[in-house]
A and B are shown apart, each in its own frame.
Chain A
Amino acid sequence: MSAVYISGLGSISCQKTFDNNEFLDEIITYTDTVITAVNPNYKEYIKPAAARRMAKGIKMGVVASRIALNDANKEQIDAIITGTGMGCVRDSEKFVSTIIDNNEQYLTPTSFIQSTHNTVGGQIALELQCKGYNFTYVHASVSFESALLDASLQLENDEANTILIGGVDELGDHTVAIHKIVNHIKPEKIDSTALLNATTEGAVFGEGANFFVVSNKKQASNYAEVLSVTTYNTVSKNKIEELAQEFLQDNDISIGDIDAIVLGNNGDVKHDSFYHELSSGIFQNTQQIYYKHLCGEFNTASSFGVWLASKILKTQHLPDVVKINNKSITNYTTILLYNQYRGENHSFTLLRKC
């Protein structure tokens, strides 16, 4: 079986991450319940004829993928696999509200066409004229991991050599409003630096796109090797430690081998307890990292976690702003990532320095 490597990456997030020459050099702190992405100059990447139809999510996906391809020095790939939890929210909202507001009359096709979940994948394929395998996964907080798993299987079996994968989600006004009503979003503004110890329910919602070129070719420029990714639809809180142990055992790794664990804490007092089980349990002596205070919570936010871990492994630098504790690690070789959303759709991902 061939190995799986991350050979390029591109991120558009609520931090200025679209410039690969930087690594969280300047941090934007937020005091809000909903935070939005920091945009690159989309015009540099997308022709006006195409851009005029694209909502933010599609632009973010298309440009983040372009940045990743440039980073990996690739013009062509064998396959495109994307993950999105909520899909193209803005176009969906636009089409539904117009249906209702205009009583189904004088509707125009653009927002309907753009609302299909695989629009980002389709748009990238069009641009690159890539006729290869093209899938879109839409399963809440394992949307991105499903894409990664699919790509890994293909690369391991030499069914493909270079694949573009990514996670993208965008905010929409109506969607935000209704999620506030059902307490999925924090009731009051919170400082991002206080997120870890928040005592209220709900998360701070964000948006973004994080794309990666994964390949089975060993290169000095690779960021990381993807050793394993596993997802679970449900897990009981009292089983999470056992499951983490099993996952590591299956990969011949011990707790002591883990140099850092990247956790998806989002400040929701109800559901962050899964992370506490691990951070106060078997991983209490491990360097713990969090990131959703930087990028916000969205179904594919874990792709930002993978971006972060990849950068750490490549630069061997751990920015202070993402530290939960301080274990003074000097050498980062193996990083474990764990994420879930509202107690469901959990994932473990294991990355290793190349």
Chain B
Amino acid sequence: MEVLKQELKENIIEQLNLEDITVEDIADNDILFGDGLGLDSIDALELIVMLDKNYGIKLTDPKEGREIFGSIEIMAKYITEHRTK
């Protein structure tokens, strides 16, 4: 799970072009959306594509993303349970 969490942090920074942020800046339990890292609904859509492309998880309703992307910890758990890649 640690490797996955590291991977997720790197992917998020790259995919969302978070130029000023490093992996060290994101704690496992930091809130990603809204007040935390400040990600928004467009970022959620980007992450949905990432889930599909990297882990083979297809979400059909964008609203599902809200919970799954709560934090790195929550994401990692969800991916571990549902990944097909």
Contacts and interface: CB of A to CB of B under 8 A. Distances in A.
Give the size category of A's interface with B.
10 to 19
Interface string A35-57: 00000000000001101110000
Contact of A106 (B18, B38, B45, B53): B53
A113 B19 contact: no
Nearest to B47: A108
B52 A106 contact: yes
B45 A52 contact: no
Given A49-B38, A113-B42, A106 B17 contact: no
Interface string A107-128: 1111001000000000000000
Contact of A52 (B17, B49, B52, B53): B17
Contacts of A108: 15, 45-46, 49
Contacts of B16: 52
Interface string B7-51: 000000001111110000000000000000010001001100100
Interface in B38-81: 38, 42, 45-46, 49, 52-53
Contacts of A113: 42
A110 B46 contact: yes
Nearest to A54: B17
Contact of B42 (A51, A106, A109): A109
B19 A52 contact: yes
Instruction: Identify the interface centre among A49, A51, A53, A107: most chain B CB within 10 Å of its CB.
Output: A49
A107 B17 contact: no
Interface of A: 48-49, 51-53, 105-110, 113
Given A108-B46, A109-B46, 15 more contacts: A48-B18, A48-B19, A49-B38, A51-B19, A52-B16, A52-B17, A52-B18, A105-B53, A106-B49, A108-B45, A108-B49, A109-B42, A110-B42, A110-B46, A113-B42
